Each structure stands twice: as structure tokens, then as C-alpha cells.
Amino acid sequence: MKDTAVQLDPVSLEVIRNALTAVAEEMSSVVMRAARSPLLREAGDHSSALTDAEGYLVAQGRDVPVHLGVLSFTVREFLNKVGRDALRPGDVWILNLPDVGGNHLPDVKLIRPIFHEGDLYAFSISLAHWADVGGAMPGSYYAAAFDCWQEGLRIPPVRLVAGDEIDEEKMGLILANVRGPAERRGDILAQISATTVAGRRLEELRLQYGVAFLKAAFEAIHDRAERQMREAIATIPDGVYEGEDFMDDDGHGGAPVAIRVKVTISGETASFDFTGTDNAVPGALNTTPFIAAAGVFYVMKALYGPDIQPSAGCYRPLSVVTRPGSILDPRSNVPVVGGNHETCQRVADAIFRALVPVAAEKLSAGGPTTAGLLIFSARNDEGDYSTFYEVHGGGEGARIDRDGMAVTRVHLANVMSTPVEVIETEYPLMVERQALRHGSGGKGAHVGGDGLHRVYRMLADNISLTTMFERAVVPAYGLEGGENGAPFEVHLQTKEGTQTKLPGKHNVTINRDDRVTVMSCGGGGYGLATD
């Protein structure tokens, strides 16, 4: 730990931590209120953060586990890319390239450097999932994509606001390449406002405390998070633990893909080595090392330190190693859109499984570690798209002391489902059934939770359907002798009566009176069943 000129006592540390978190929370409020993408407003798929001058995260507005991993790296990678000399007060940069501390194209980041008299002392950053970022399909999920260009507009770090003036030419270029330009402009303005509010609030804090104190506070926050993470790691017995879990396929229907981890616990430090993980894949399940780090952090916090404060300091005692060329560290330009929420969950699964020898009593058996995403998109008479995204939860894995719960979200995912009445009111769909998928939970001393059984009937022709789900081939695992849960299944029954099982990453056009039946995965059981 570094020496700092100003020492913070335990009271000042907690007071300033609250003040900085309040700034990040206000950023989130601004985005929540002003953004136009329904994903941001209804599902809360956005994050805000403050970082220090080096780009290390010090405060987060809302806790979205997968974003913490990303935001801990975005500003640093951004700095590496553009260089400190390019930064000026009153500028806001935009970017979404996965390589630059990113994840997938729909998560667009806006970054504002914050200065006092020429001294750069902080950044504010807003990340938001846009409902569309261009590319081959409305909603920017293209299951058949074989490169990243098909997934949408790729934005390297670009100075979108210069001296507090929006550069309308750059804005125009972005808006010309995304669907729903008016809404996307609303999203951008909301994100810019969030970074601006943060700048103003930090200035108020600077007036009150001074720059030296703020810098010392940032350092103290990192140190504390580091200490909390060290304390958490110290509770795990030293040793080397290996685990693996599998993606259903390579994104294009090929064989399952292994995520392998070697966890080495040594005193207060831990390394997570993913070198043994399989190569990058042709489909959209690739992801970035930043997402792998998000998976690591989630597991550590959930198992060993629920009170650890989110800050880049958490990562100091952790090392996360990914192999260039693997699915977690692919070369540029491969498709990545699904990796963000599918592969990151499998990273967590692989770590959980590695830790079975030392943490079986803390673990849940396998659960619905997939978004279970279906996107229905209909084009109306004016040529606009009406796009319905829906995530489908499944059965929770059982635990040593209880059964898994039916139909929920686990680990790095927590988006709500859409009410049937809202679906039927707003989209040309009818839901004919919404029930538990009885008996889908894995058997065991405690049984896994049941999945969902939902039936959609199309009320219009030419609806494009995209699937993006996992746990169809490799089901949710049982633990300690418990059985696996039932696999995720989606069936298409045309009005003529032909029935097909749809692959987990697929695009298909369907028509009036066709039916899509979702039977989401059941959770794994825990312990040997007694009968």
C-alpha cells in the first residue's frame, strides 16, 4: 500500500465514501430518468462510476455485477489508447469497442475527465445498454454473425463533446448508423448529463475538502477494498483448485466449449488462471478479459465478502490470467454480443465448481446461468421496428440446506421479466400459458427449482425471432450427488403443425399463428436423493 500525504481516519473515510457514492448514484438517477432505451429504464441495464486520475474505479452508482468488472478497466484502457495529453476540461468521450475496456457493442460508455486548474484528478463514466447500436438485426443481436462488424457500429474513443459543446457532426455519424436515432440521441444526452452532473458535484466536494484530500480519499478507498478482498481470500484454505464448465456450443452449433480455471489461493492473494480455456469461437459467445474479471469478482464477493465495497482496489490481491486467442481473450473483431451475459456466467460456474472441495456448504448447485433471451421483432407499416426483448429465468440450484426456488435469475444476471398483459398490449403476440415447468429441477436430497413454461403465439406475419440461450446442451449441474436440472428447450410449432426444436443461437422468421414454446432450464439438485 502506498503512502499518502493526507491520512484518512475511519470516520472521514466513511463520510467521503458516502459523498462519492451519492455522486455516482445521482449519475444513475439522471440516466434512469432521461434515457430513452427501455432496457435502461425498465431493466436498469446501466451503470455509473467515478474513477481516480489513473482510471481506477472509486465509486459505483448502482450495483450491476457485470458492469463493475468492465468499468474497473474502461477508463484505464481508454487512457492507454488516447494518452493523457489528449484530455482537456469540458470534453466528453464516447466509445464501445470491446478491446478498449469493453464487453459488447450495445454497452456504450461516455467518459469525462475532471480537472482542477489543469490538474486531472478524476473521471466520471456512464455505461448504458442501448436498445440498438446498428448491425444486421434490429436490437443488434445477430446469432449468425461471424464478425463484430455485423453486430453494429464500432466506436473507438471519440471526443463527442469538446469544451462543453456537442460535436454535431460526430453525433450525426453515430445516429445515422443506429435504429431509432431520436431515442439514441436521448440516450447519449442522458449519459452526457450524467457525466456533467458528476463533474459539478465533484467540484463541490473539491471546494469543501481540497484536491489533496480527494486524492487521498481515492487511495484510502482502494486500500480498504484491497484489505477487504485480502481478508476474504484469507478465509479460503491455501491450495490449487481446478474447475470447468461448458458453453453449449461455439455459437454456430458446434461442440461444447470449455471454460477452465485453475484457482491458486496463497495466503491473502488469489490467482484465477483461465489458460486452459478453449479457443475463441466463430459465433457471438466470445468475450473480453474484463468480463472474465467481472466473473471472478462476483464469485469472491458472493462466497466470501458480500460487504466488500466495489472499487478497483478489490483487484489488487487478485490476478486474472487469460490466454490470448481463447474465448475470454480473443483477437479483435470477433463477434461478442452474447458473451457478455452467457460466457461471463460460465466463468462464474467454472470457479464455483473449482471451489467445491473447500466451499461445498456455501455453494448452490447449477442454476439458469443464461439470459434465456428471445427477441421478437416486427416491422410496422411505417417501416419502424417494434422489438420485444425478453429474458427467461429458470430454476435456482439447490443448496445444502434448502431446495432451489422456481423461475428466478442468478449470479451476474438480474433483469426482470415482462408482464403478460404488457406483452399482449404492446406487441403482436399472445401468451397462451405461463406456468412452472413441473419436475424440471434436478433430483437430490434438496431438489433444484423448476423452470418456466411459457407459450407465445404470433399475431402477425414476418416476425423475426432471435434466440440467445444456453443450458440447452450442457444442463445446470447437480452438486454432491444431486442430479442435473432439465435442459433449456425452445420449440417452434408452425401453424401447419411442424414442430422444431430451436438452437440456442438462431435467427428465424415466423408468422401468424406459429407458436414458440419456452421451457427454461431447471436448477441442479444437491446431495443424493434418498428414495
Partner 1 sequence: MSEWRLGIDIGGTFTDVIAVSPDGTNRRSAKVPSKPAEPVRAIVEAIAAVDLNWSDVGEIVHGTTIVTNDIVEQHFRPCALIATSGFADSIEIGRTSRRVLYRLDVTPKVAPLVPSDLRFEVEERLLADGSVLTELSDAEIDRVIAEIKATGVDTVAVCLLHAFQNPAHEIKLGEKLSEHFANVSLSHEISPEIREFERMSTTVLNAMMMGKIRAHLNRIDETKAENSLVHLMHSASGMATPDLIAERPLMLAMSGPAAGALATTEMARALGIQNALTFDMGGTTTDVCLIVNGRAEIAANRELGGQRIRLPMVAVDSIGAGGGSIARLVSGALEVGPRSAGATPGPACYGKGGTLPTVSDADIALGYLNPTRTLGGSVPLQPQLADKAIGALAAEMGFETRQAAVGITRVVHATMARALRRATVERGLDIRSFDLVAFGGAGPMHAVEVARICGIKTIVVPMFSSGFSALGCVDAAMSYSRQFTVNMKSKTWDQSRLDALLREETETLSRALVAAGHAAETLRVTHTAGIRYSGQSYETPIHDPAFDDLEALGAQFDAAHKAVYGYSTGETWELMTVRTEVSGPERELNNAEVPGGATTPAPVGHREVTFETGESANTPVYDRDALVVGEVLTGPLIVEDTWSTVVVPPRDTIRRDATGNLHIVVELDQ
Kindly identify the residues of this chain, within the stretch 398-457, that bind partner 1 according to CB under 8 A.
399, 401-402, 405-410, 414-417, 419-422, 424-425, 430, 432-436, 452
Q: Which of 5, 10, 169, 381 binds partner 1 (CB under 8 A)?
A: 10
Assess contact for 351 and 345: CB atoms under 8 A.
no
**What number of chain residues touch partner 1 (CB under 8 A)?**
75
Assess contact for 223 and 313: CB atoms under 8 A.
yes
Binding to partner 1 by CB under 8 A, coded x per residue (else -) over 456-495, reads: ----------------------------------------
Assess contact for 105 and 153: CB atoms under 8 A.
yes
- Does 30 sit near partner 1 (CB under 8 A)? yes
- Does 42 sit near partner 1 (CB under 8 A)? yes
Minimum Å distance from CB 258 to partner 1? Answer: 24
Q: How far is the CA of 171 from the CAs of 32, 176, 181, 421, in angstroms?
A: 21, 9, 10, 37
- Does 162 sit near partner 1 (CB under 8 A)? no
Assess contact for 20 and 217: CB atoms under 8 A.
yes
Binding to partner 1 by CB under 8 A, coded x per residue (else -) over 93-132, reads: ----------------------------------------
Q: Which of 165, 169, 207, 498 binds partner 1 (CB under 8 A)?
A: 207
Say which residues have a Cβ less than 8 Å from residue 496's Cβ, sequence separation at least 6.
none
Minimum Å distance from CB 65 to partner 1? Answer: 6
Sheet with 429-437, edge to edge strand ranges? 429-437, 451-458, 515-519, 489-493, 499-501
Minimum Å distance from CB 394 to partner 1? Answer: 9
**Grid cell locating 182:** 431520436
CB environment 474-486: b (16+ within 10 A), e (fewer): bbbbbbbebbbbb
Assess contact for 315 and 293: CB atoms under 8 A.
yes
Measure the CA–CA gap between 151 and 144, rounded to whole angstroms: 10
Nearer residue to partner 1 within complex by CB, 311 or 326 = 311
Minimum Å distance from CB 69 to partner 1? Answer: 14
Among 258-266, 298-306, 465-473, 508-516, which window interacts with partner 1 (CB under 8 A)?
Answer: 298-306
Q: Output DSSP code: residue 498.
A: -
Minimum Å distance from CB 332 to partner 1? Answer: 32
- Does 34 sit near partner 1 (CB under 8 A)? yes
- Does 322 sit near partner 1 (CB under 8 A)? no
Helix or strand or coil: residue 363? coil
Assess contact for 31 and 130: CB atoms under 8 A.
no
Binding to partner 1 by CB under 8 A, coded x per residue (else -) over 57-96, reads: ------x-x-------------------------------
Minimum Å distance from CB 334 to partner 1? Answer: 30
- Does 203 sit near partner 1 (CB under 8 A)? no
